[in-house]
Amino acid sequence: MDEMRTSVPATFGSEEYENRLQELQHQHNRRHRQAFEQLHHDAERNSIALVTTPTGFAFAPMNEEGEVIAPDAFQQLPEQERQRFQAMIEYLQNQLQELFQQFPQWQKEMQQSVRQLNEEMTLLAVGHPIEELAERYGDHPVAVSHLNAIRDDLVVDFEVFRSGEKEQIELLLHRYQANLLVHSEANEGAPVIYDDMPTHQRLVGRIEYLVHHGTLVTDFTQIRPGALHRANGEYLLLDVRKLLTHPFAWGTLKRTLSAAEIRPESLEKTYGFWTTASPEPEPVPLSVKVILLGDRMLYYLLAAHDPDFADLFKVEADLEDDLPADAQARELYARMIATRGVHQRGFSGPRQDRASPCNGPAGGRDGESNHGPCQGPHDDLRALCGIRVPGSDRGGRAPWRPRAARPAGRSGPGRRERVILGGAVTAGT
């Protein structure tokens, strides 16, 4: 674009362009002059003069000396001579009328020739840089087609460059700017996108407006991406409670996943709150794995009352909050605490008296049996991660608060506290 700002106006100001334009104008004038000279010659051969009057052109008979015959003298001529003059004058007038009728067509042909010259000069200025880009992105047919469309559009709008008005040129070149919605960097594995505020617009994107001379205006550069754009082809994590509490968000997500395409929609325009003109972007094909995080009650409510829920989210992952109080569980949990502490807080390792998450007589806590569930392990993990919990001290470490042990064989919904809804589900399937 920077090259076009200078190369195209310079082309129209070049000596070559001025010479070719003058040659076209000379050809047009020569054509007019030759037509009048031919008509004038035909009139003189028949002793008729082509004279210019305030109202245009006229024909008058001439004598042998080449002088125009006065009306009184013309009436004294023989009848046969007068009829010859009148017939020839009528013929020449018809020729002149036909000539005048051809002038608009000749002018149109002249304008077409100038237009072809302008398009040729514009193509000469923009063709080379666009061809270089087309060769660079030859493996992407869509990109090459877009570049060819830019070239054709520039050729059509050559008048903007010829005018030399910088504001108009900038407005024209603004149309060819790219609005990059999402870019992906080289990462190991598929990134996971989490949106902590899943509103309608933050899911599917939005179209922003600018105030220009007191009027709201927008264009394609004001299209902003949503979480589905950023997670397209990857993974999107959403809190189902937040999703349900934001108006229209749940319906928007379901509609987008069912259609397998993203359409940035303005709720104000959809529901008729305003009628400001705005662009309508083409839908973006969607292939995303959406994971909903929420508690068990919301899962059961959605499964029971939303007929689309089971079709869109087919995988359920229910995570336990309790651990069995056996040697293997203690060892694995102690390793997790130590690893987390090293990476997050510089913790050198668990103390001897905290090597196991379940302390107390017989390997339990406060008299808990080794065969019962291990209670309260989350406090140590939260303390190491710097998470403040109710009742924690100022240092961020939560005191150990043992809970009553539950029977080892207890089962049912009461033992589970959180559930992941949806698992990895590809949109549109």
Which domains are present in the chain?
2-174 (no CATH), 193-319 (3.40.50.300), 323-405 (no CATH)
Whether pLDDT at 250 is above 90: yes
- For residue 53, the surrounding DSSP H or E stretch is strand 48-53
Higher local confidence (pLDDT), 68 or 9: 68
Rounded mean pLDDT, 155-182: 75
Which two three-digit tokens encode residue 145?
Answer: 């087609």
pLDDT of residue 68: 82
Contact (CB, 8 A) for 314 and 425 = yes
- pLDDT exceeds cutoff 90 at 88: no
**Burial (CB count within 10 angstroms: exposed 0-12, middle 13-18, buried 19+), residue 269:** middle
Average pLDDT of the residues of the chain: 75
Hey, which residues does 145 pair with through a beta bridge? none
pLDDT tops 60 at residue 283: yes
Q: Which residue has the tokens 């995080």?
A: 293
pLDDT at site 78:
85
Taking CA atoms, 217 is separated from 188, 207, 214, 220, 222, in Å, by 41, 11, 9, 11, 10
Tokens representing residue 146 in the block: 């877009």
Tell me what pLDDT residue 272 has: 63
pLDDT at 275 over 80: no
Please determine, for residue 309, whether its predicted confidence score (pLDDT) is greater than 50.
Answer: yes
Q: Is the pLDDT of residue 213 over 70?
A: yes
The yes-or-no verdict on residue 66 having pLDDT over 50 is yes
Whole-model pTM: value is: 0.57
The answer to whether residue 10 scores a pLDDT higher than 60 is: yes
Mean pLDDT of 161-181: 75
**25-63 residue pLDDT tens:** 898 888 888 888 888 888 888 888 887 777 777 888 888
Place of tokens 């589900």: 425
pLDDT at 216: 77
Is a pLDDT exceeding 70 seen at residue 248?
A: yes
User: How much is the average pLDDT of 414-424?
Assistant: 37
Q: What is the pLDDT of residue 246?
A: 92
Is it the case that residue 388 has pLDDT exceeding 50? no
Average confidence (pLDDT) over 366-383: 47
- 69-83, 288-302, 390-404: lowest mean pLDDT where? 390-404
Which helix (H) or strand (E) element contains residue 416?
strand 416-426
Dihedral through CA 94, CA 95, CA 101, CA 106, nearest 10? 180
State the average pLDDT over residues 136-140. 85
Share of the chain above pLDDT 90, in %: 11
φ, ψ dihedrals at 374, nearest 5°: -85, 120
Which of 144-148, 187-191, 284-288, 340-344 has the least mean pLDDT?
Answer: 187-191
Pairing of strands 261-262, 235-239: unpaired
Q: Which residues are paired to 290 by β-bridges?
A: 236, 425
Based on DSSP, count helices (H) and strands (E) in the chain, helices before strands.
Answer: 16, 15
CA–CA distance, 51 with 373 (Å, rounded to integer): 120
Give the number of other CB atoms < 10 A from CB of residue 76: 9
Tokens at 290, concatenated? 């959406």
163-172, 217-226, 228-237, 275-284: which range is least confident on average? 163-172
- Tell me how far apart the alpha carbons of residues 232 and 182 are, in angstroms, rounded to a whole number: 9
157, pLDDT greater than 60: yes
Higher pLDDT: 338 or 312? It is 312
Query: Is the pLDDT reported for residue 368 higher than 70?
Result: no
Instruction: Of 5-19, 157-171, 254-268, 328-342, give the lowest mean pLDDT range.
Output: 157-171
The residue that leads in pLDDT, 163 or 114, is 114
Res. 125: pLDDT tops 80: no
Where does the pLDDT of residue 383 fall: very low under 50, low under 70, confident under 90, or very high at 90 and above?
Answer: low
Weakest-pLDDT range from 71-85, 297-311, 351-365, 387-401? 387-401
